[in-house]
Structure 1
Amino acid sequence: MHAWLCENPVGVEALTWKELPTPEPKAGEVLIEIKAASLNFPDLLIVQNKYQMKPPLPFVPGSEYAGVVRAVGEGVQHLKVGQNVACLSGTGGFGTHTLAPAALCMPLPDGFGHVDAAAFIMIYATSYHALIDRAALKAGETVLILGAAGGVGTAAIQIAKAAGARVIAAASTDEKCALCRELGADETINYSVHTPQGTLRDEIKRLTGGNGPDVIYDPVGGDFAEPAFRSIAWRGRYLVVGFASGPIPNLPLNLPLLKGASLVGVFWGNFAKNEPKANAQMMQTLAGMYLQGQIKPVIDQTLPMSELSKAYAIMGSRAVKGKLVLVN
């Protein structure tokens, strides 16, 4: 097998493509021949030693991937050789093969391709857990989605529309706003025009008739959080999904008090760990939604696995719409 090896986490430039012994799965593991792997923001942080999970060195980055089971370890009952699966294991995806815990593998139904599957678990599990489980989104409610043209943002648009919500999508360019409308967004906000320090709050107010959004989905953080929260509706739910802009915001706690609003943390990984049965049921629901055409990952582009450094550069430029996928 071959893989991109991180022996010193000082950045993307330190990754090297190396031939390694193909491993044998231990108890509870499967060997997967990787067909496609997607690039996520944590994949950048982890090779810079900036991610909360710090795997022992050396390691192969690549948190999310899809492929074919080539061997199964002792005790694995629900997967078999030749089966198509997707997996989000945190590392191992940027190569030709990897070992994965069988419990983390999602069996793929017929008609679920590897490229879509490699870009599926993280964004749809996060967005469904956020909007449906944590926010209890109802038909007819209004959702404001920040960072709406990114991976989790595009997934959130589709899930919110499937739930019957009205969607306001906020993104940084007219091109990204156009993509959001193609995905079903009812209104868009270009926040390079309506900036957090400028008219963002006024525009949210205008688009909601002064009532504010019932749910705010925020994977961005930074300067966007306070003006967005100040716009929220009475009994609104503010979903803290992540901090893609960098800084973690400091919100005055009088704001939830005055609005009767909830500040809701969204950590899908811990949900999956603490409530595995509920998570498995959710993933089944999402697979069904995919097969019914209700949701489908937005693939910005696919690149050969050999062009990982180019993929990282594209992601770092913040020009990506949806997901980047590497293929073998």
Structure 2
Amino acid sequence: MQAAVVREFGPIDNVAVEERPDPVPGPGEVLVRVGAVAVNFVDTLVIGGTYQFLPDRPFTPGKGPAGTVVALGAGVTALAVGDRVLAMAEIGGYAELAVAPAAQCYRLPDRMGFEEAAALSLAADTAWFGLRERGRVQAGESVLVLGATGAVGIAAIQLAKAFGARVLAGVSSMAKAELVREAGAEAVIDLSRANLRDSLREQVREATGGAGADVVLDMLGGDPFDAALRALAWRGRLVVIGFAAGRIPSVKANYLLVKNIEVSGLQISDYRKRMPELARRCFEEIFSLHEAGQLHAPAYRTYPLPRAREALGALLDRTVKERIVMTVLGG
């Protein structure tokens, strides 16, 4: 099979597409003929050797490929050859064939193609867990999404709206306001305003009648995190998902006490390993909302597998505004 291979951790120049032996599923695993897989920033961390969980080398990167089951490992009974699945494997997706735990494979709805499934993977499920599990959002509450124009952000806006929440979308430029409004945001928070520490709180209070945000999903960290913490409502919950702004912030515990607020973190892979039934319920609801027209994949651009390095470069250089999806012929 063809696969992208990393032999030494480092820059994306270390990624080479080459011929590799076909993998064989072990007990409890399935072999998937990959149709498409998203290109995620986390993949570059794994390639660079800076992610918290690093595979043995050589390895093939790529999380969450979508494709067709072509072989079953020993003991697999819940899936069958021919099933179309989203396979939430941690690595191996940048290839024609990928092995994944059967317990972390989710049958796709008939009307969902591989590219759309790949575009949703690692975005919609992250947003779901941030809202449902860590944020415990309730209908009628207000949700502030920081990093709202990214894949997780767009999914979070749609899901929060589907859950009955009022959605506030934080954007780095008001030129992006229409994008988040189309996704369902009722108010747009301008993160480019001067004195963000005060201006963010003022905008949130104006949008919530002075109450503040009940839930904040933060993909940014840095100054937006500091400002959003001050914009939480009484008993508000802020969920840390990433640090795209660069700085990892810190929190003074007395501030949490005085305002009766919470800060929690979300590392989505742990849930699939430790709470597989909750992860399955997550995808069942995501697929159901997609079928109902309440959740759509973000706009995406495709690159074929032989251009894997180019796709990664476009992600890092931010030369492509859409989500990047790698396609595999024959999937």
TM-score range (shorter-chain normalised) is over 0.9
Following superposition, the deviation at residue 101 of structure 1 comes to 1.8
Q: Supply the distance in 1 between the matched residues of 2:168 and 2:303 (Cα, whole angstroms).
A: 31
Counterpart for residue 49 of structure 1: 49
Following superposition, the deviation at residue 85 of structure 1 comes to 0.9
Counterpart for residue 183 of structure 1: 183
The amino acid of 2:207's aligned partner reads L
**137-146 or 204-213: which moved more?**
204-213
Q: Supply the distance in 2 between the matched residues of 1:30 and 1:239 (Cα, whole angstroms).
A: 33
Counterpart for residue 290 of structure 1: 290
What is the SS of the residue equivalent to 1:58? coil
Residues 37 and 257 from structure 1, CA distance in 2 versus in 1: closer, same or farther, beyond 3 angstroms?
A: same
TM-score using structure 1 length: 0.94
Counterpart for residue 125 of structure 2: 125
> Over aligned residue pairs, what C-alpha RMSD do you find?
1.8
Following superposition, the deviation at residue 236 of structure 1 comes to 0.8
Q: Supply the distance in 1 between the matched residues of 2:276 and 2:6 (Cα, whole angstroms).
A: 30
Name the structure, 1 or 2, with higher relative contact order (CA <8 Å, separation 6+): 2
Following superposition, the deviation at residue 25 of structure 1 comes to 2.1
Aligned residues: 328
Unaligned stretches of 5+ residues in structure 2: none
**141-150 or 165-174: which moved more?**
165-174
Residues 293 and 321 from structure 1, CA distance in 2 versus in 1: closer, same or farther, beyond 3 angstroms?
A: farther
Following superposition, the deviation at residue 124 of structure 1 comes to 1.6
CA offset digits 1:193-238 (Å, max 9, x no partner): 4563673333333333332111111111122111110111111111
TM-score using structure 2 length: 0.93
What is the SS of the residue equivalent to 1:188? strand
Counterpart for residue 220 of structure 2: 220
Moved over 6 A (4+): none
What is the SS of the residue equivalent to 1:77? coil
What is the SS of the residue equivalent to 1:234? strand
Following superposition, the deviation at residue 246 of structure 1 comes to 2.6
- The answer to whether the Cα contact below 8 Å between 1:297 and 1:323 also exists between their aligned partners in 2 is no
CA offset digits 1:68-98 (Å, max 9, x no partner): 1111122111122221111121111111111
- The answer to whether the Cα contact below 8 Å between 1:4 and 1:94 also exists between their aligned partners in 2 is yes
- The answer to whether the Cα contact below 8 Å between 2:16 and 2:309 also exists between their aligned partners in 1 is no
What is the SS of the residue equivalent to 1:92? coil
Q: Identity across aligned pairs (percent)?
A: 38
What is the SS of the residue equivalent to 1:126? helix
Residues 322 and 267 from structure 1, CA distance in 2 versus in 1: closer, same or farther, beyond 3 angstroms?
A: farther
Unaligned stretches of 5+ residues in structure 1: none
- The answer to whether the Cα contact below 8 Å between 2:191 and 2:224 also exists between their aligned partners in 1 is no
Mapping 1:1-328, distance limit 5 Å: 1-193=1-193, 196=196, 199-318=199-318, 321=321, 323-328=323-328
Following superposition, the deviation at residue 314 of structure 1 comes to 2.3
Q: Supply the distance in 2 between the matched residues of 1:304 and 1:197 (Cα, whole angstroms).
A: 43
